[in-house]
Chains A and B, each alone.
Chain A
């Protein structure tokens, strides 16, 4: 499942930040991390600052935080961050040369569409991150890819620069379609009902995507979020209800989960809106 080289020690590693750039309301954090090795689009890593992790709001953060790997090439990984609380705030402060704990790659990623079928990538807010590496991988394999991204407001629109050729929707009408990214998805599916959907974003958006794809009989892979303590299946804390009963651990059964495995995407999951 994971692409750790055989013989790697199962532990976190300290790596150096090479850059931390502002992208509108987001930050792009780059780290020198050759040990990340080969990974699947949609896999994630648990990150924590080596220095001063703790002592923020409510004396947090304490645990590491989960982030999609937005890109990885030439030994450098990048992550797209949104400041929503003490953990992300501390990571957004890091500067080139600072040290970061990384555990990963973790979880299971997206699987490519069947030969000849178009991939529609649907992202919302900071959830666009895993779609960047997915777009790279699908394009390199020669497949047809459409990208639909939704943002709350003007400050977040620059995030779209992480991907190529994206069509936008915004809640405030500041760019692209004034409305939901799922409106764009419905239009795309009317013109190409054979497409396969890949989505990541806030729970409300994912539930919209799931419901549309279920109605139209379109396969969908959803990258979910959940509050996580460990990221490698140890704590059983990151669960979402599975269709037919029981729970899935988002960190090891996902984060990319086939929409057919879910009755619905629950809103509690702790995802930033």
Chain B
């Protein structure tokens, strides 16, 4: 069941969604078992920005029917902190042999997810990730407003193509563009990423969402960040439609995600054209969701 993805050989097609699994914190919580029983075939980092970010004020979570609205605000140590402190701890994981067809462990490559609000910021991030051997691929989170236009970089096909094309020569590593679902024409954005030179696209990120504080007079947002993003089973039919539409439109591989909870759900993503499937919110309910889903595909 091993899969080839942008020149990487993965033990199986299940990886994590960025920002939904912290390998270092999980190592602290579950101990050395995680080293040889990593639940995913590749590890995608949280979004890393050039400067450190504390993230949004709490509350950051709201539970909705079969879903979760989050307003985390991309807390991270910044590029330098990530490279110096985190990356050295990420290279040695082996995937859980339960989930690979040959019953053996395989190394878990690291995909570093980055976000910048200007072309220069993005270039600095991508160039810095091009160097370390531990980073196997780079994922661009383009769900970020352009500081000059205020539009999400990833929501406007023309802008997205320019941004990706501007980064293409900064790295020889696979460049995955994580599309925003909050765009008028997502397949057009995928095509633009491909035209700009992306090696793969991933989708869907969270759907823009909001929750009001309960039991109080007047409308007051619950989340400290005001609005947030919806994930989990509630978004799976939307994700399936977007993944199918994108896979039909581009020739590069597609990483499908959004609400996947079981091998049957992952199979649907693969059936509509995804090469890999990422699991996000379901890992919160069960940190072994990735290996359970991968083993179910065997």
Contact = CB atoms under 8 A, between A and B. Distances in A.
A252 interface: yes
B20 A234 contact: yes
A1 interface: yes
- Main secondary structure, interface of A, reads loop
Contacts of B67: 62
Interface stretch (B25-33, B80-88, B136-144, B175-183): B25-33
Contacts of B119: none
Interface centre among B22, B29, B32 (most CB of A within 10 A): B29
A142 interface: no
Contacts of A234: 20-22, 25-26, 283-284, 287
A6 B33 contact: yes
A6 B31 CA distance: 7
A78 B31 CA distance: 24
Contacts of B285: 12, 48, 62-64
A32 B288 CA distance: 21
A240 interface: yes
Given A2-B28, A247-B54, A54 B33 contact: no
Nearest to B288: A11
A232 B58 CA distance: 18
Interface string A195-239: 000000000000000000000000000000011111011111111
Nearest to B72: A236
B63 interface: yes
A233 B25 contact: yes
Contact of B61 (A54, A60, A235, A241): A235
Interface string B276-298: 00000101111110011000000
- Which residue, of B31, B37, B55, B283, has the highest number of chain A Cβ atoms within 10 A? B31
Which of the four size classes fits the interface of chain B? 35 or more
A4 B30 CA distance: 6
A59 to B, nearest CB: 4
Interface in A237-270: 237-241, 245-247, 249, 252, 266, 268-270
A255 B266 CA distance: 34
A229 B20 CA distance: 10
A146 B51 CA distance: 47
A159 B66 CA distance: 33
Contacts of B25: 232-234, 249, 252
B288 A247 contact: no
Contacts of A12: 285-288
Interface in B1-54: 19-22, 24-26, 28-34, 37, 39, 46, 54
Please name the 9 residue pairs, one residue from A and one from B, whose CB atoms are nearest each other, closest first.
A233-B25, A11-B288, A10-B30, A59-B65, A230-B284, A237-B61, A232-B29, A229-B284, A237-B60
12 contacts: A7-B33, A10-B29, A58-B64, A62-B64, A63-B284, A232-B287, A233-B22, A233-B26, A234-B21, A237-B60, A252-B25, A252-B29
